């Protein structure tokens, strides 16, 4: 019985839909499972559960780390890919093989042939498509691939008998291009993309070359390489980025694009001289990770309401604020994608351009040749723009031009370096903007941080300890005033900077929080991504009066209470209560 017939029998599909699907499968030559999953007829677990019942073959879930590398040697990588099967374990010379399509006679014949060649017996279990894709990555173990490339490099060096004299830049470039060091870099880049790392750090130490990946905002050591290959690795990165390989005394910046897993990925490169040699930082600009839709940013409740209202206005200044790496650019890109329509002219000034958006006129500033944000903004205003994105307001001239652009009927998006929204208006005044010009131009100020998002498959729901529960309740409905020092605040006490009450939100009873556990879906990390926590302050008549009277942080804090605005900490706590993150993550990114 086919899966479609089983779905009809169970009432999941009607006969008319089933006939249509059967015709599509027959005419396209595709697998039944692939079409059903693509059409979202049923979940993968449900479909493969039915298949297991039908074939009388057990469905097995296997974690990546459970498969020993030695087991993979029984089935070659090409066979595992083509026939969609994976060797899982070996016991008493009996190899357990996971198959996606055990009913396929060609797959069965291929396994029989491999068993005769390898002189082993086997037993079969069923695995899902996504499990096969995940387990197949085991063939590409980072250390295994790098070790192989390094062995090839050693052979290459011996064969070439490279002279002891330092090679000329041209010779060095040729050696780096021809030697397997290029394979080492290809492996590192691919593993960074597959592992959804945001950055790769290549750092020389006294004895080793340390490679670290930044995953979900935290750096992790991935591998240690021989220090002797450091010059070749750095040279390879420089060649890819079109940088000077003979210049090691000063920092250099570059960029390159390469195809990884059939995706065009941009890499932004920065080299930096240290006492032990050049350090290289590579930012991975994967559009599928970095270009988030507006709805997926993490904006919620009053923060979402204030932001959406601001981007619907025909003009005005919208500022995203926070420290480096908090996701400000991602937020601006999400807004631009929401605003990017056929009938508008959207122009950007960036340093550098991180992602390319179809239909947007993106320009990279070059301060070294006099093309900075202020110069670029003056010229952008002559390009008949409707919407302008300025990478950062960092000086008086840029601030003045951005304000006047908003005054003359443009939507202006930009970033500003302040810790929270309380500092935005004082910072603009500090940059020389007259208070009366802020009133009609500033639509909304958004402050944000990034925290790790819990894996929904393994998170654990628990009751908080009394001191944590008391702290949550006090943070959501504090009695202290904002603007005082947060230093010295302990769990169980209200942190003064969060003294904005959350209107209309009552914590559930009983109160539950969530903890990270770890499973095969999240590679035993317990987290699957990052999400923003926000505070968004909208311009109102009351805030306008405060600015004209002489703005103070205390006055802005009172206006925040009146608006019912969530602070970043409160937004994080509510996300923790919803099971999106943990209380520990909220404390990590919001406590001073």
Cis preceding-peptide flag for 265 (omega within 30 of 0): no
pLDDT in tens, 317-348: 999 999 888 889 899 999 999 999 989 999 99
Any idea which residue has 């940013």 for tokens?
Answer: 297
Instruction: Determine the pLDDT at residue 331.
Output: 93
The rounded distance, in Å, linking the Cα atoms of 345 and 324 is: 28
Residue 480 has pLDDT above 50, yes or no: no
Lowest mean pLDDT among 174-178, 273-277, 416-420, 441-445: 174-178
The predicted pLDDT at position 169 comes to 54
**Lowest-confidence pick of 67-76, 189-198, 536-545:** 67-76
Enumerate the β-bridge partners of residue 99. 85, 126
Query: What is the predicted pLDDT for the residue at 479?
Result: 46
The first and second tokens of residue 511, run together, are: 């109160």
CA 434, 435, 438, 439 torsion-angle sign? negative
Of residues 271 and 92, more confidently modeled: 271
Whether the Cβ atoms of residue 325 and residue 354 lie closer than 8 Å to each other: no
Instruction: Give the three-class secondary structure for 550.
Output: helix
pLDDT in tens, 481-503: 443 333 333 333 333 344 455 66
Q: According to the per-residue pLDDT averaged within each range, which of 113-117, 213-217, 273-277, 501-505 is highest? A: 273-277
Scored b (16 or more CB within 10 A) or e, 298-326 reads bbbbbbbbbbeebbeeebbbbbbbbeeeb
Predicted local distance difference test score (pLDDT) of residue 149: 67
- Which residues face 214 on adjacent strands? 199, 219
Q: What is the pLDDT of residues 528-572, one digit of tens each?
A: 889 999 999 888 888 888 888 876 777 888 888 777 788 899 999
438-450: pLDDT as tens digits: 989 999 999 999 9
CA-nearest of 313, 316, 320, 384 to 347 is: 384
Arithmetic mean of pLDDT over the chain: 84
Average pLDDT score over residue span 338-363? 91
**What is the rounded distance in angstroms from the CA atom of residue 120 to the CA atom of residue 378?**
74
Residue 168 clears pLDDT 70, i.e. is over it: no
Alpha helices (H) along 501-591:
541-550, 553-563, 568-577, 583-590
- pLDDT of 105 higher than 60: yes
pLDDT confidence of 268, banded at 50, 70, 90?
Answer: very high
Contacts 24+ apart (CB under 8 A), 177-183: 177/239, 179/153, 179/232, 180/149, 180/150, 180/152, 180/153, 180/156, 181/149, 181/153, 181/229, 181/232, 181/233, 181/236, 182/236, 183/145, 183/148, 183/149, 183/152
Q: Note the pLDDT tens digit of each residue in 5-42.
A: 888 887 888 888 888 888 888 888 788 888 888 888 88
Helix (H, G, I), strand (E, B) or coil at 320: strand
Residue 152: predicted pLDDT: 64
pLDDT at 158: 52
What confidence tier does 314 reach under pLDDT thresholds 50, 70, 90? very high
- The two tokens of residue 547 are 């600015």
Query: pLDDT digit string (tens) for 119-153?
Result: 889 999 999 988 888 888 777 666 666 766 666 65
What pLDDT was estimated at residue 402?
93
pLDDT at 494: 36
- Indicate the helix (H) or strand (E) that contains 106: helix 105-118
Q: What is the pLDDT of residue 272?
A: 96
Residue 156 has pLDDT above 70, yes or no: no
Asked whether residue 408 carries a pLDDT value surpassing 60, the answer given is yes
Q: What is the mean pLDDT of residues 381-400?
A: 93
What pLDDT is recorded for position 557? 81
268 within 8 A of 257, measured Cβ to Cβ: no
């Amino acid at each position: 019985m086919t899966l479609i017939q089983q779905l009809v029998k169970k009432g999941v599909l009607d006969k008319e839909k089933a006939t249509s699907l059967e015709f599509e499968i027959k005419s396209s030559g595709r697998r039944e499972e692939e079409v059903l999953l693509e059409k979202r007829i049923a979940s993968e677990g449900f479909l493969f559960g039915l298949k297991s019942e039908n074939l009388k073959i057990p469905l097995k879930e296997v974690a990546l780390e459970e498969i020993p590398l030695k087991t993979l040697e029984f089935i070659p990588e090409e066979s595992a890919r083509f026939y969609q099967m994976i060797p899982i374990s070996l016991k008493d010379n009996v190899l357990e093989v996971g198959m996606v399509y055990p009913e396929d006679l060609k797959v069965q014949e291929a396994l029989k042939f491999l068993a005769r060649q390898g002189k082993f017996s086997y037993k079969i279990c069923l695995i899902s498509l996504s499990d096969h894709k995940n387990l197949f990555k085991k063939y590409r173990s980072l250390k295994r691939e790098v070790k192989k490339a390094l062995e090839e490099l050693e052979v290459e060096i011996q064969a070439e008998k490279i002279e002891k004299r330092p090679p000329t830049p041209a010779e060095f470039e040729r050696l780096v291009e021809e030697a397997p060091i290029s394979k080492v870099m290809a492996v590192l880049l691919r593993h960074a993309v597959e592992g959804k790392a945001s950055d790769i750090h290549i750092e020389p130490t006294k004895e080793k070359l340390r490679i670290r990946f930044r995953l979900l905002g935290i750096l992790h050591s991935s591998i240690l390489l021989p220090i002797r290959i450091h010059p070749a690795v750095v040279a390879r990165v420089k060649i890819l980025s079109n940088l000077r390989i003979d210049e090691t005394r000063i920092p250099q910046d570059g960029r390159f694009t390469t195809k990884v897993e059939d995706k065009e990925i941009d890499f932004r490169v920065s080299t930096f001289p240290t006492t032990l040699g050049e350090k290289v930082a590579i930012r991975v600009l994967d559009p599928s990770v970095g270009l988030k839709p507006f709805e997926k940013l993490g904006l919620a409740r009053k923060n979402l309401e204030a932001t959406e209202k601001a981007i619907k206005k025909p003009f005005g200044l919208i500022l995203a604020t926070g420290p480096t790496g908090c996701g400000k650019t991602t937020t601006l890109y999400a807004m631009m994608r929401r605003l990017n329509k056929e009938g508008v002219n959207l122009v950007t000034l960036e340093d550098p351009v991180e992602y390319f958006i179809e239909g947007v006129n993106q320009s990279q500033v070059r301060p070294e040749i006099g093309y900075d944000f202020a110069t670029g903004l003056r010229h952008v205003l002559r390009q008949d723009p409707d919407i302008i994105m300025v990478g950062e307001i960092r000086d008086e001239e840029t601030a003045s031009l951005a304000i006047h652009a908003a005054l003359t009927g443009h939507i202006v998006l930009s970033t500003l370096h302040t810790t929270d929204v309380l500092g935005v208006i004082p910072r603009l005044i500090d940059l020389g903007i007259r208070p009366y010009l802020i009133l009609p131009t500033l639509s909304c100020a958004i402050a944000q941080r990034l925290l790790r998002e819990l894996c929904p498959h393994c998170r654990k729901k628990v009751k908080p300890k009394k001191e944590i529960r008391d702290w949550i309740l006090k943070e959501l409905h504090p009695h202290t005033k904002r603007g005082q020092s947060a230093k010295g605040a302990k769990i169980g006490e209200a942190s003064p900077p969060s003294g904005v009450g959350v209107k209309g939100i009552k914590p559930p009873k009983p109160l539950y929080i969530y903890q990270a556990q770890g499973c095969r879906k999240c590679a035993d990390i317990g987290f699957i991504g990052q999400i923003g926590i926000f505070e968004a302050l909208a311009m109102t008549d009351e805030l306008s009066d405060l600015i004209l009277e002489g703005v103070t942080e205390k006055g802005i804090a009172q206006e925040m209470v009146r608006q019912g605005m969530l602070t970043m900490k409160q937004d994080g706590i509510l996300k923790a209560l919803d099971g999106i993150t943990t209380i520990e993550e909220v404390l990590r990114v919001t406590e001073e």
